[in-house]
Amino acid sequence: MSSELNLILLGPPGAGKGTQAERLTFDFNLPYIATGNILRGAVRDETALGKEAKSYMAKGELVPDSVITGVILEALNSADARDGFLLDGFPRTLPQADALALGLQDADRRLTAVILIDVPDEEVQRRLSGRRVSVKTGRVYHVEFDPPKHEGRCDIDGSRLVQRDDDKPETIAKRLAVYHAETEPLTEYYDARGLLRRFDGTRAPTEVHDHIRATIATLRLEDEL
C-alpha cells in the first residue's frame, strides 16, 4: 500500500529519539511501537508470545530474537499499524533487521525510511551524565541545560537531586560500546538499501523535528506520484 508510512528510528542513547517520536507520531498520526512497551504489553495481555517472553524474563534471561521479532511483527500487523508505524528500539542487530525484512515481505509491506539521529559520543556523555533527578518529585534537571535554582536541590520542594546509575559516565560508556558494536552496523545495512536518512541530532530539537518532518513529507509525496 503506497500510502503507508513505515518508519524506523535509529540513534545512540541520548540522541533525543523519544522527543522526536512524540512529535512525529502526532504529525503523521502513527502508532509508536517501542520494543520495551510492546514486550511489556504482550506479557501483561498474556498473549502466546508474551507468555513465552515472560518465561525467559522470570529466569533473568534475555528474551531470544525469535520471540522479540514475533512480538514486534504481531504489533505491526495489528489494525492500529495498518496504515503505518514508527518503530523504536527494534531492530537492534543485523539478524533482527533480516527477520523484520522477511516479516514485512511476507505481509507484502515495505519500509518507507530509516531515520538516524546522529549524535557524537562526547555529546551523549554531556547530555546524559549531566542529568539529575529529584528523589521525591522525580523531576529531571540538567546541570548545564536546565539547572535547579539551588545546586543539588529540587525547585519544587527542596528535595535532594541524585544522578541515576544509568546516567553515570561508566554506564553511558558501556551503553555506547554496545550501540557501536551491535546497532551501528544497521546504518550501513539500511544505507545500502537506500532507506537511511541522516539527521544532525546536535541541533535544537525543533530544528531536528522540522528537518525530519519535511523529509518524510517529501518521501510520502514521491510515493504517491
Active site residues: 17, 92, 131, 164, 175
State how far the Cα of 128 lies from the Cα of 82, in Å rounded to an integer.
35
Is 14 annotated to bind ligand? yes
C-alpha cell at 156: 519544587
Is 187 annotated to bind ligand? no
Is 133 annotated to bind ligand? no
Is 107 annotated to bind ligand? no
DSSP 8-class letter at 163: -
Is 139 annotated to bind ligand? no
> How many other CB atoms sit within 10 Å of the CB of residue 162?
13
Cβ neighbours of residue 52 closer than 8 Å, sequence gap 6 or more? 67
Going from the C-alpha of 32 to that of each of 20, 24, 105, the distances in angstroms are: 11, 9, 21
Is 61 annotated to bind ligand? yes
Residue 140 φ then ψ, to 5°: -100, 135
Is 174 annotated to bind ligand? no
Sign of torsion over alpha carbons 111, 184, 9, 32: positive
Is 152 annotated to bind ligand? no
Is 160 annotated to bind ligand? no
State how far the Cα of 161 lies from the Cα of 29, in Å rounded to an integer.
37
Is 110 annotated to bind ligand? no
Cβ neighbours of residue 181 closer than 8 Å, sequence gap 6 or more? none
Is 40 annotated to bind ligand? yes
- The string over 132-157, giving b where at least 16 C-beta atoms fall within 10 Å of a residue's C-beta and e elsewhere, is bbbeeeebebebeeeebeeeebbeee
3-state secondary structure of 85: strand
Is 141 annotated to bind ligand? yes
Residue ranges for the binding site for ATP? 14-19, 131, 140-141, 203
The binding site for AMP consists of 35, 40, 61-63, 89-92, 96, 164, 175
Annotation: binding site: 14-19, 35, 40, 61-63, 89-92, 96, 131, 140-141, 164, 175, 203
